[in-house]
Amino acid sequence: MASLPCRHFLLLHLIILSAAALDSPQEQDTPVTRFQQYLRIKTAHPEPDYSSAVSFLVSQAQSIGLQYRTIEFSPGKPLLLLSWLGSNPSLPSLLFNSHLDSVPAEPSKWLHPPFSAVRTPDGKIFARGTQDDKCIGMQYIEAIRNLKHKNFTPSRTIHVSYVPDEEIGGLDGAAKFVHSMDFDDLNVGFALDEGQASPGDEFRVFYADRSPWRLKIKATGPPGHGSRMYDNSAMENLMKSFEVIGRFRESQFDVVKASKASNSEVISVNPVYVKAGITSDTGFAMNVQPSQAEAGFDLRLPPTANPEEMKRRITEEWVPAIRNMSYEIIEKGPIRDHMGRPLMTSTNASNPWWLVFEQAITFAGEKLAKPEILASTTDARYIRHRGIPVLGFSPMSNTPILLHDHNEHLQDTVYLKGIKVYETLISSLSSFMEA
Ligand code: ZN
């Protein structure tokens, strides 16, 4: 490249300069450049820069006259709450939630650095968080900015929350928030939280999340020489469990393969680690049968699953104590409410909020796919646990699903259309008087 002719170098230099000017927040202040600014704040685990993200969002809130406050349920983990007071504050309010954090990224696997928020000439914005879920976090603010510009006044108060730690389970974020006095004081009647991109024309909407269980199983047995055939050895017992769990996994998967249910409507179980064997400096001792063996499984239960039945199955069939086995389940969040009902938000006429939501999408000129259970998990489950209807919704149609993936990106036009969709949603929901 050293032999590059001088005028080419100059041209290249000019292109780089003009590209930098295009993306530079100092040069322009538009919805897209503000989105890029938010994306450039590194809130990826394991060291999310929450304070910079909150400062940026506060400056945005101030620029459009929103009330704001931060609450810290855990030191160094702020939750930001923005509020737009309604003309009838006694009505239950609306909550628009998103999370501040994101999962890490492997820069070497990306076309553009994951925290550069590069916008390519064809309008793709590359950054960790473009889809999950800094898009909605900024779209809420931009939609409010536009509605204020149009002199719209909401009847219901609108709250926008930015919570920490969603990507690591939400225990120091949404889980504490929903059980706080601060949350009770908001008197939330209906909430929207993140959804997922849709590769087709229709927006996806989610009425429930699956609940993760982390299952660790342990087997013990007589140790001994690798040449002997023991009955009930640790490895033999662990392998039997694998067989039984594998059959259950197949039975669930068959239902999906036969198109009788979607992936998110069945119980998934996947092995994630196996730990066994006696090691030394030279590696595994190949002639010793270990006295202990352990394995870990990721289970996801839809709210329609019966957790008691699942525990019975684990105790009696998967990990029977008579085979010298024990287990531990770590349940990541609730699956039922206090009355024992599955955590699901109705998507029929029994839920007036659903009807308003559905009409608003139509009014915005958009289409909705059949409501789904989310295969993974969001903070929405904590809000549903308080008996509040919540829909998971991120307005990204004709978009590949790239959350947690390399090269996560979002088309600028899709982002901008989403702002218009939230304008319609916020105005319709906040003007709805009957619920
Ligand atoms: Zn997310």
For the chain, the structural domain boundaries read 28-209+342-431, 213-301+305-331
Using the mean position of ligand 1's atoms as its centre, give its distance from the Cα of residue 214 in Å. 20
Vertex 316: Cα angle to 312 and 317 (nearest 5): 105
Using the mean position of ligand 1's atoms as its centre, give its distance from the Cα of residue 391 in Å. 14
Across all residues in the chain, what is the average pLDDT?
Answer: 93
Q: How many helices (H) and strands (E) does the chain have?
A: 11, 19
DSSP type of residue 315? I
Q: Mutual orientation of helices 352-363 and 412-431 as an angle, nearest 10°?
A: 130
Using DSSP bridges, classify how beta strands 158-163 and 283-284 pair: parallel, antiparallel or unpaired.
unpaired
Please give the Cα distance from 400 to 110 (Å, whole number): 16
Using the mean position of ligand 1's atoms as its centre, give its distance from the Cα of residue 256 in Å. 25
Q: Provide the pLDDT for residue 26.
A: 56
Q: Provide the pLDDT for residue 10.
A: 44
Q: Among 86-95, 114-123, 277-286, 371-380, name the one with the lowest average pLDDT.
A: 277-286
Q: Predicted confidence band at 27 (pLDDT cuts at 50, 70, 90)?
A: low
Using the mean position of ligand 1's atoms as its centre, give its distance from the Cα of residue 170 in Å. 11
Q: Which residues are catalytic?
A: 101, 166
Buried b (16+ CB within 10 A) or exposed e, 189-206: bbbbbbbbbbeeeebbbb
Average pLDDT over residues 258-262: 96
| pLDDT at position 99 over 60 | yes
Q: Provide the pLDDT for residue 5.
A: 42
Residues 6+ apart with CB under 8 A from 290: 223, 234, 235, 276, 277, 278
Can you spell out the DSSP letters for 378-435? -THHHHHHTT--EEE-----S----TTSTT-EEEHHHHHHHHHHHHHHHHHHHH----
Using the mean position of ligand 1's atoms as its centre, give its distance from the Cα of residue 401 in Å. 12
Using DSSP bridges, classify how beta strands 158-163 and 93-99 pair: parallel, antiparallel or unpaired.
parallel
Using the mean position of ligand 1's atoms as its centre, give its distance from the Cα of residue 403 in Å. 8
What is the pTM assigned to this prediction? 0.87
Using the mean position of ligand 1's atoms as its centre, give its distance from the Cα of residue 124 in Å. 20
Name the token pair of 394. Answer: 């991120």
- Chain centroid offset of residue 85 CA: 28
In Å, what is the CA distance from 50 to each residue of 139, 162, 217, 334? 19, 10, 36, 26
Q: Predicted confidence band at 13 (pLDDT cuts at 50, 70, 90)?
A: very low
E-state strands within 139-255: 158-163, 188-193, 206-209, 211-220, 224-225
Give the end-to-end CA distance of the chain in Å, rounded to a whole number: 67
Q: Counting beta carbons within 10 angstroms of the beta carbon of residue 54, is it exposed (0 to 12), middle (13 to 18) or buried (19 or more)? A: buried
Using the mean position of ligand 1's atoms as its centre, give its distance from the Cα of residue 21 in Å. 31
Using the mean position of ligand 1's atoms as its centre, give its distance from the Cα of residue 183 in Å. 21
Please give the Cα distance from 186 to 92 (Å, whole number): 8
Using the mean position of ligand 1's atoms as its centre, give its distance from the Cα of residue 99 in Å. 7
Q: Predicted confidence band at 307 (pLDDT cuts at 50, 70, 90)?
A: very high
Using the mean position of ligand 1's atoms as its centre, give its distance from the Cα of residue 122 in Å. 26
Average pLDDT over residues 354-382: 96
CATH superfamily of 28-209+342-431: Zn peptidases (3.40.630.10)
| pLDDT at position 7 over 70 | no
Q: 214 forms bridges with which residues in the sheet?
A: 298, 330
Residues belonging to the chain? 435
Using the mean position of ligand 1's atoms as its centre, give its distance from the Cα of residue 132 in Å. 4
Return the CATH architecture of domain 213-301+305-331: 2-Layer Sandwich (3.30)
For the chain, what percent of residues have pLDDT higher than 70?
94
Question: If you search the block for the tokens 């923005």, which residue do you land on?
Answer: 82
In Å, what is the CA distance from 369 to each residue of 94, 239, 271? 23, 42, 32
Q: Mutual orientation of helices 134-149 and 412-431 as an angle, nearest 10°?
A: 60
Please give the Cα distance from 395 to 415 (Å, whole number): 8
Using the mean position of ligand 1's atoms as its centre, give its distance from the Cα of residue 382 in Å. 14
Q: Counting beta carbons within 10 angstroms of the beta carbon of residue 415, is it exposed (0 to 12), middle (13 to 18) or buried (19 or more)? A: buried
Count Cβ atoms below 10 Å from residue 344 Cβ, excluding itself.
Answer: 18
Name the token pair of 255. Answer: 């239902």
- Chain centroid offset of residue 114 CA: 18
| pLDDT at position 264 over 90 | yes
Count Cβ atoms below 10 Å from residue 121 Cβ, excluding itself.
Answer: 7
Residues 6+ apart with CB under 8 A from 181: none
